[in-house]
Amino acid sequence: MSKLNNLRKWLSLDESAKYLERKINEQVAITDILRFALDGHLILSVNLQSPKIAKKVEIKRVKMAETATNVEVYVRENWGVYIGESFSPDREIDFAIATSNEITSLSGVQDTPLLGIERLFAEEQYCKSLGLPKPSRKQDIIRGVTISAGPSGLYQLQHFIDVDDEIEDLYRAAEAAGDANHPAFNNIIEIFKNLSTISMWDADAHMRYIPAPSVPDDIYFVARTANLDKLVEVLNATPVTKTPKQSKKTENAQAKFIKNLLTVMYGADVAENPRKHIDGKMAQIRTDLEAKSLYCPSGVTIENWLSEIE
């Protein structure tokens, strides 16, 4: 084992792959690190190289119609994301809501539960490395970059709206669509004009900050060595044995039973798409199971089981 790593508290993804290779004596790629994290086996962190404004948030179930009233919906980078093909006013989704008007600053290495767009950031890197299609932003993930600050709770990185640029983009789109004189459009423009009088140092600055629509350029993924060591313990404790193959009929019955239980406990929508309710620190199914000290497989594993139902 390299003595150079003894004092390292965190490693880049490339360094993490090499670290695991030495620990388990198997070839490990960056894509393996990303997949471990996306499947809930490894806690990833992000290195905030410069201070970032953040708000403390809590995750709640809200109707999509409620999210459509937020100003961030009309920011250029979010067009078609909040109100897209999957939009249904009464459908409930997980949403991060600020606990107060207070804004704070975060920097350095911070853990992430991969609940927000940082999850898409990880998926994009994974897919790009393997030549797979880029994941769509039009998913029911929590908006913004989420940060898990341990006992302090969950935070969401913020973006200060450039009002002039946003108004210019809105007018350009409205004129192209012939909606420049529509009352609804004028109401949206009025919202942005009201925000233009608020500076970063005003008491109402929180009103002009929205969840970061994309991952800032100077942020990158890292892994704490302590979390890598926990993963090594799991990998080394997992026996590699051959088990008798079950019949297709048995596998099908087991998958149906699992889906039925999910339907009864969490509803049909969750049973149809359980992955995001299992992966990540704040996922409800994983939280419920771990609260009772019960094992929870990854969301991808469950999704694969259920995909085999005939």
Confirm if 278 and 299 have CB atoms less than 8 A apart: yes
Share of residues in the chain with pLDDT > 90 (%):
50
Which pLDDT band, with edges at 50, 70 and 90, does 1 fall under?
low
* Cα–Cα distance, 97 to 56 (Å, whole number): 8
Computed over every residue of the chain, the mean pLDDT equals 87
Domain boundaries defined on the chain: 3-161+208-234, 246-307
pLDDT of residue 229: 94
Section 159-179 average pLDDT: 91
Confirm if 104 and 155 have CB atoms less than 8 A apart: yes
How many helices (H) and strands (E) in the chain? 11, 8
pLDDT of residue 252: 81
Q: pLDDT tens across 72-127, in order?
A: 888 988 887 766 656 788 888 888 999 999 999 999 999 999 999 999 999 999 99
Q: pLDDT tens across 187-201, in order?
A: 999 999 999 999 999
Section 202-222 average pLDDT: 94
Section 290-303 average pLDDT: 76
Share of residues in the chain with pLDDT > 70 (%):
92
Q: How many CB atoms lie within 10 A of CB 227?
A: 19
Among candidates 251, 255, 243, 258, which has minimal Cα distance to 289? 258
* Joined tokens for residue 195: 């925000």
Confirm if 44 and 108 have CB atoms less than 8 A apart: no
pTM of the entire predicted model = 0.74
User: What's the Cα-to-Cα distance from 67 to each of 25, 49, 50, 71, rounded to whole Å?
Assistant: 48, 31, 29, 9
Query: Crossing angle, helix 30-38 and helix 13-24, to 10 degrees?
Result: 90
Query: Among 42-56, 177-191, 243-257, whose mean pLDDT is lowest?
Result: 243-257
* Cα–Cα distance, 9 to 226 (Å, whole number): 7
pLDDT of residue 110: 96
Q: What dihedral angle (degrees, nearest 10) is formed by the CA atoms of 264, 259, 237, 40?
A: -80
